[in-house]
Amino acid sequence: MENEWIARIVLVVAMVGAGVLLICMANAAASGRLKRNQLAGIRMASTRASDKAWLAAHVRARRATVRAGVISVLGGAFALVPVPMPVVTIGVLVAAVGTLGCVLYGARVGSVAARNVSES
């Protein structure tokens, strides 16, 4: 029983932590506070082409990335619901897949926005 709570706490910390980081990164990048770098953000050739392309990509991807963060936080919170561990596992897995989907969608629309800036 104690091992189950340790697993739940690890899930909460991982999912909530990832979600908060996604939300913070999305807001910082879309506001221009997160400059082009080697660690965080949508790092594709189209987004790294210029500062304008970088900002355009992150402004366009902000909503999807924040949504990914919220889904991740909710998935982490779900780990604290007093339901059997297999249900928690499925719920957190669904949240992780939703988070990934939103992040990939944000990267896609951000890349398109960056290409549009580069072409004009």
User: For 15-42, what is each residue's pLDDT tens digit?
Assistant: 999 999 999 999 999 999 999 888 999 9
- Is residue 60 within 8 Å of 116, Cβ to Cβ? no
Q: In the predicted model, what is the mean pLDDT of residues 72-93?
A: 96
The domain locations on the chain are 2-119
**How far apart are the C-alpha atoms of 16 and 22, rounded to whole Å?**
10
pTM: 0.91
pLDDT, mean over the chain: 94
How is residue 57 written in tokens? 């990509």
pLDDT > 70: percent of the chain: 98
**DSSP reduced 3-state for 40:** coil
Predicted confidence at residue 86, as pLDDT, reads 94
